[in-house]
Chains A and B, each alone.
Chain A
Amino acid sequence: MARVDAEFDGRGVHDTCNRDERSDIRRNLRNHAPPDHTLAVRCSTQTLDDVEIARTVTSRAPNSSSSDIGGAAVNTPIRSSPLRTSLARESHYSTLRVAMTVGLLLACFTLATVVAVASNDLRTDEETANVTEWATLTIEDRLKAYAEVLYGVRQAFELDIADYRNFGLEIDRLDVSSRLPGVQVIGAAHRVSADEVAEYTSAVNDASRRSGLEYPDFEIYPSSEATEFLPIDFIEPQVGNEKAFGLDFFSERNRANAARLAMETDRPAATGPVVLVQETGEQTAFLLMLPFYDPGSPISTVTERRDAFAGVVYAAFRMDDLMNGIFGSNKPVEVLIGDAKSGQLLFGDDPDGAWLSLSNDDPKVSTIGAFGRRWKMIVDGNEPAISMTERAVPWLISSFGLLSIGLFLATVRASRSTRARAEALAAEMTEELDALTEATSEAIVTVDQDGRVVGWNTGATRMFDVEVDEILGQPVDRLVPQNDRHAFAERFAGLFAADPSDSPFDRSFLLKGLRGNSDFPVEMTLSSWAARDERFTTAFIRDITDRVEAEQALNETGELLQSVLRAVTEMSVIATDTDGVVSVFNAGAERMLGYDADDVIGKATPTLFHDRHELSKRAIELGLDSLEDVLAPASLVDSVETRTWTYLRQDGGRVPVELTRAPRYDAAGNRRGAIGVAVDISARLEAEADQQRLLDQQHEIVARLTQVDRAKSDFVSTMSHELRTPLTSIMGYTELLSDDLASAEPTVRSGMVKMIERNAERLLTLVEDLLSLSQIESGLFKVRREPCDSAAILHSARESVALMAGERGITVDLDLDDDLPELVGDRSQLERIFVNLLTNAVKFSPECGEVAVRARVGDALVVSVEDHGIGIPHDEQHELFTRFFRSSTAIEHAIQGTGLGLSIVATIVDRHNGLIDVESTEGEGTTVTITLPIPESTSSTINAEEAYA
Chain B
Amino acid sequence: MSKILVVEDDIDICELIRFKLTNMGHEVVVEHDGEAGLAAARQERPDLVMLDWMMPRLTGLEVCYALRADEDLATVPVILLTAKAQEADIERGFAGGADDYIVKPFSPRELASRVDSLLSRLVR
Q: Taking beta carbons and an 8 Å cutoff, which residues of A are in contact with B?
A: 717, 720-721, 723-733, 735-736, 741-742, 748, 755, 758-759, 891-896
Q: Which residues of A contact B57 (CB under 8 A)?
A: 892, 894
CA distance A895 to B57 in the complex (A): 11
Residues of B within 8 A of A731 (CB): 105-107
**Known interface pairs A731-B105, A736-B108, A896-B9. Does A721 touch B16 (Cβ–Cβ under 8 Å)?**
no
Q: Are A729 and B13 in contact (CB under 8 A)?
A: yes
Known contacts: A729-B16, A732-B13, A755-B12. The answer to whether A724 contacts B105 by CB under 8 A is: yes
A730 to B107, CA, bound (A): 11
Cβ contacts under 8 Å, B72 to chain A: none
Give the contacting residue for A894; candidates B15, B56, B107; CB below 8 A. Answer: B56
Q: Tell me the minimal C-beta distance from B44 to chain A in angstroms.
A: 20
Q: Which of A723, A732, A733, A748 has most B Cβ within 10 Å?
A: A732
* C-alpha gap A726/B33 in the complex (Å): 18
A736→B106 contact, CB < 8 A: no
* B residues in contact with A896, CB < 8 Å: 9-10
Chain B residue, CB-CB nearest to A748: B19
In the complex the two chains form, is A733's CB within 8 Å of B32's CB?
no
Q: Which of B44-58 contact A (CB under 8 A)?
A: 54-57
Is B120 engaged at the interface, CB distance under 8 Å to the other chain?
no
Give 20 CB contacts A-B under 8 Å. A721-B83, A724-B83, A727-B105, A728-B104, A728-B105, A729-B16, A731-B107, A732-B13, A732-B16, A732-B106, A732-B107, A732-B108, A735-B109, A736-B19, A736-B108, A742-B19, A755-B16, A759-B12, A892-B56, A895-B56
Q: Please, which residues of chain A bring their CB within 8 A of the CB of B23?
A: 741
Nearest-CB residue, chain A, relative to B106: A728
Q: Contact mask B79-119 → A, CB, 8 Å, 1/0? A: 00001110000000000000000001111110000000000
Nearest residue in B to A754 (C-beta to C-beta)?
B12
B68 within 8 A of A: no
List, in ascending order, chain A residues with CB within 8 A of B55's CB.
Answer: 894
Closest approach, in angstroms, between the C-beta of B51 and any C-beta of chain A? 14
Neighbouring A residues of B108 by C-beta, 8 Å: 732, 735-736
**Which residue of A is nearest B23, CB measured?**
A741
B20 at the interface (CB under 8 A from A): yes
- Apart from A725-B104, A730-B105, A733-B16, list 11 A-B contacts with CB within 8 A: A720-B83, A728-B10, A728-B106, A729-B10, A729-B12, A732-B107, A735-B109, A742-B19, A755-B16, A894-B33, A894-B56
A891 contacts which chain B residues (CB < 8 A)?
A: 56
Chain A residues closer than 8 Å to B19, beta-carbon distance: 736, 742, 748
- Least Cβ distance of B61 to chain A in Å? 14
**A728-B56 in contact (CB<8A):** no
Given known pairs A721-B83, A729-B16, A736-B20, the reply for A893 and B10 (CB within 8 Å) is no
- How many B residues touch the partner, as a band? 20 to 34
What residue of chain A has the Cβ atom nearest to residue B85's Cβ? Answer: A720
Closest 3 CB pairs of A and B: A894-B56, A724-B83, A728-B105
Once the chains are docked, how many angstroms separate the CA of A896 from the CA of B14? 14
CB 8 Å contact bits of B1-38 with A (1 = contact, 0 = none):
00000000110110110011001000000001100000
- Judge whether A728 and B16 touch: CB under 8 Å: yes
- Please report the number of residue pairs spanning A and B whose Cβ atoms sit closer than 8 angstroms: 70
Q: How far is the CA of A343 from the CA of B12 in the complex (A)?
A: 190
Which positions in B face A, CB cutoff 8 Å?
Answer: 9-10, 12-13, 15-16, 19-20, 23, 32-33, 54-57, 83-85, 104-109
How far apart sit A729 and B108, CA to CA, in the bound complex (Å)?
10
Q: Given A891-B56, A894-B32, decide whether A725 and B83 contact each other with a Cβ distance below 8 A.
A: yes
Given contacts A721-B83, A725-B83, contact A735 B107 (CB under 8 A): yes
* CB pair A732 B32 closer than 8 Å: no
A505 to B21, CA, bound (A): 131
Q: How near does chain B come to A306, taking the closest CB pair, in angstroms?
A: 139
- Complex CA gap A720/B82 in Å reads 10
The answer for the CA separation of A748 and B23 in the assembled complex, in Å, is 13
Shortest distance between the CB of B48 and any CB in chain A (Å): 19
Q: A736-B19, A759-B12 are contacts. A724–B104 as well, Cβ < 8 Å? A: yes
Q: What is the bound-complex CA distance between A755 and B54, given in angstroms?
A: 21
B84/A725 in contact, CB under 8 A = no
Task: Return A365 CB to nearest CB of chain B, in Å.
Answer: 166
A725→B106 CA distance, assembly (Å): 10
Instruction: For residue B62, give the distance in angstroms from its CB to the closest CB of chain A.
Output: 14
Distance between Cα atoms of A413 and B39 in the complex (Å): 142
User: How far apart sit A844 and B73, CA to CA, in the bound complex (Å)?
Assistant: 34
- Return chain B residues, CB-CB under 8 Å to A726: 12
Per the bound structure, the CA–CA distance linking A724 and B56 in Å amounts to 17
| Contacting residue for A727 out of B20, B54, B104, B109, CB 8 A | B104
Q: In the bound complex, what is the Cα–Cα distance between A411 and B85 (angstroms)?
A: 139
> Complex Cα distance A723/B105, Å?
9
List the B side residues contacting A717 at CB < 8 Å.
84
- Asked if residues B54 and A732 are in contact (CB atoms below 8 Å), the reply is no
Is there contact, CB below 8 Å, between A736 and B16?
yes
Which of B10, B12, B20 has the most C-beta atoms of chain A within 10 angstroms of its own C-beta?
A: B12
Distance in angstroms between the alpha carbons of A411 and B105 in the assembled complex: 148
Given contact pairs A725-B13, A892-B57, A894-B57, A732 touches B105 in the complex (Cβ within 8 A): yes
CA distance A563 to B55 in the complex (A): 80
Kindly list chain A residues whose C-beta atoms are within 8 Å of the C-beta of B85.
720
Chain A residue, CB-CB nearest to B33: A894
Answer whether A728 and B13 are a contact pair too, CB < 8 Å, given A735-B108, A736-B108, A892-B57.
yes
CA distance A741 to B22 in the complex (A): 12
A83 vs B63: C-alpha distance when bound (angstroms)? 140
Determine the chain A residues whose CB is within 8 A of the CB of B83 once the complex forms. Answer: 720-721, 723-725, 728
Smallest Cβ distance from A753 to chain B, in angstroms?
12
Residues of B within 8 A of A755 (CB): 12, 15-16
Measured between alpha carbons, how far is A733 from B17 in the docked complex, in Å? 10
B84 to chain A, nearest CB (A): 7
A199 to chain B, nearest CB (A): 136
- B78 to A: closest C-beta gap in Å: 19
Report chain B residues within 8 Å CB of A721: 54, 83-84
* CA A728 to CA B106, docked complex, whole Å: 6
Q: Are B10 and A725 closer than 8 Å at their CB atoms?
A: yes
A893 to B35 alpha-carbon distance, docked (Å):
12
Q: Which chain A residue lies CB-closest to B103? A: A724
Please name the residue on chain A nearest to B32 by beta carbon: A894
Return A794 CB to nearest CB of chain B, in Å.
28
Q: Which partner residue on chain B sits nearest A720 by CB separation?
A: B83
A894's nearest neighbour on chain B, judged by CB, is: B56
The answer to whether B56 touches A893, judged by C-beta atoms less than 8 angstroms apart, is yes
Interface centre among B10, B83, B84, B85 (most CB of A within 10 A): B83
CB proximity of A460 to chain B, nearest CB, Å: 99
In angstroms, how far is the closest chain B Cβ from the Cβ of A12?
Answer: 145
Complex CA gap A723/B103 in Å reads 13
Q: How far is the CA of A759 from the CA of B11 in the complex (A)?
A: 11
How many Å lie between the Cα of A894 and that of B55 in the bound state?
A: 6
**What is the chain B residue whose CB lies nearest that of A719?**
B83
The distance in angstroms between the C-alpha atoms of A720 and B83, with both chains bound, is 6
Complex Cα–Cα for A889 and B89 (A): 26
CB of B12 within 8 A of CB of A758, answer: yes
Q: Which residue of B lies closest to A891 (CB)?
A: B56
Q: Which chain B positions have C-beta within 8 A of A732? A: 13, 16, 20, 105-108
Closest to A716 in B: B86
Residue of A nearest to B12 (CB): A729
A703 to chain B, nearest CB (A): 25
| A residues in contact with B33, CB < 8 Å | 894
* CB proximity of A709 to chain B, nearest CB, Å: 16
Instruction: Report the minimal beta-carbon distance from A203 to chain B, rounded to whole angstroms.
Output: 135
A720 touches B105 (CB 8 A): no
Contact partners of A736 in chain B: CB under 8 A:
16, 19-20, 108
Provide the residues of chain A in CB contact with B109, threshold 8 Å. Answer: 735
Interface centre among B13, B33, B57 (most CB of A within 10 A): B13
CA distance A717 to B10 in the complex (A): 17
With the chains together, A723 CA to B10 CA distance in Å? 13
Closest to A733 in B: B16
B17 to chain A, nearest CB (A): 8
In angstroms, how far is the closest chain A Cβ from the Cβ of B52? 9
